Structures are given as structure tokens and as C-alpha cells.
Amino acid sequence: MIQILMIVMAVLLFLCSYYLLQRSESLFVLIAKTKDNQRFLRYFGLLYAAFGVIGLFIAIIDHSTPSMIYLIIVILFSAVFSIQLAKKAKSSL
């Protein structure tokens, strides 16, 4: 069961990564289109892709401790991304 959830999480991270890297134009409605914001979206897009790859490896390993550590790290980085995106959106108003 943990393997299935880890694979689903990795696929979702790959989708988020694709959206941040290839479809970032739709996010520029919320934030200003500057080089700094483009680097911000690219950084987190690549980070999510790396987390997706790591998630697939952890799904293959199928141990609960690395899976829980992975989930905590992904949730923390997602929170950081959300907070920073909200700050950028607020400052661009």
C-alpha cells in the first residue's frame, strides 16, 4: 500500500514540476514576470522533479521510515514554496 501511495505522490510531483517548468506563464497572472520569479519557478520545478525521482526510488525500497522522512521533507518544501509564492503574489498587487 505504501508503494502505491509513493508512486502516486511521485507522479503528482512530476506533474507539478512540468507545470512549473513548462506552463509557468499561467502563474505570471499572480506574480510579476521577472527574471527572479522565473528562476524561483524553475528552481522549485527542478526540485519537485528531483523529489519525484527520489520518491520512485523510495517506493522501490518499500520501507516505512525512509517513506515517512521523504513525506515530511516534501511537505516542508511544499510549504516553503506556498509561502514564498504567496509573498510574491502579495507584493505584486
pLDDT of residue 57: 95
Instruction: Give 67-92 pLDDT, tens digit per residue.
Output: 999 999 999 999 999 999 999 998 87
CA distance linking residue 2 with residue 69, whole number of Å: 13
5: how many CB neighbours lie within 10 A of its CB? Answer: 13
Spell out the domain ranges in the chain.
Answer: 2-91
Instruction: Give 6-60 pLDDT, tens digit per residue.
Output: 999 999 999 999 999 999 888 888 898 899 999 999 999 999 999 999 999 999 9
pLDDT of residue 53: 97
pLDDT of residue 93: 72
